[in-house]
Structure 1
Amino acid sequence: MSRLHFDQDIQPLSDFRAGAASFIRQINETRRPIVITQRGKGVAVVVGVAEYESMQEKIELLEEIQKAETQISAGLGMSNEDARAKILKSIKA
């Protein structure tokens, strides 16, 4: 996702409602999110579907890494050699 351009990517809700199609086009062309404000405060962020899916994949990967680190800390890991042997055994079977 590209960096936010404060002069272009922060829009009041009323402007977003009036020009939703053009803002959606902008999001798809620039790959930047748009922050929607209401009474001067950010209330929502609109991102393209591809960007959202990419963010979700990154979150899932980070969660898996965190889970693996917790398991390793608890002594539930295995050595690289043992893992490799286990995988090769399952492939040959």
Structure 2
Amino acid sequence: MLNLTQDIRSLTEFKRNTTELVENLKRTKHPLVLTVNGKTELVVQDVQSYQELLDAAELLKTLRGIKRGLQQMKEGQGKAAEDLFAEMFDQLDNAS
């Protein structure tokens, strides 16, 4: 979780204290927001935390797809698996 009092630094400070700040990133697992000319420009994060973020985003995407599919089935927009497989096999047979 981002701590606004500790996790926002200037790019200049990051350049001066890279080793210390990277060690802190690894220890706390908190992202670091870097500013350029007083404006937020970059987020720096340790690899493990970034991978966890990617995994969470992928899970969310999957869950949204499942939810959408369930809603479509409730609305009668889906096809029975038997019908879908029959169509696929027909297309394969016709392609031969």
The answer to whether TM tops 0.5 is yes
Q: Which has the larger radius of gyration?
A: 2
Q: In structure 2, which of residues 25, 28, 34 is the aligned counterpart of residue 27 of structure 1?
A: 25
Aligned residues: 76
Hey, which bits of structure 1, 4+ residues long, moved more than 6 A?
none
Structure 1: stretches of 5+ with no match in the other structure: 79-93
Please state if 1:40 is matched with 2:38. yes
Correspondence 1:48-67 to 2 at 5 A: 48-67=46-65
Query: Percent sequence identity over matched residues?
Result: 25
How many Å apart are 1:7 and its aligned residue?
2.7
How many Å apart are 1:5 and its aligned residue?
2.4
C-alpha RMSD of the superposition: 1.7
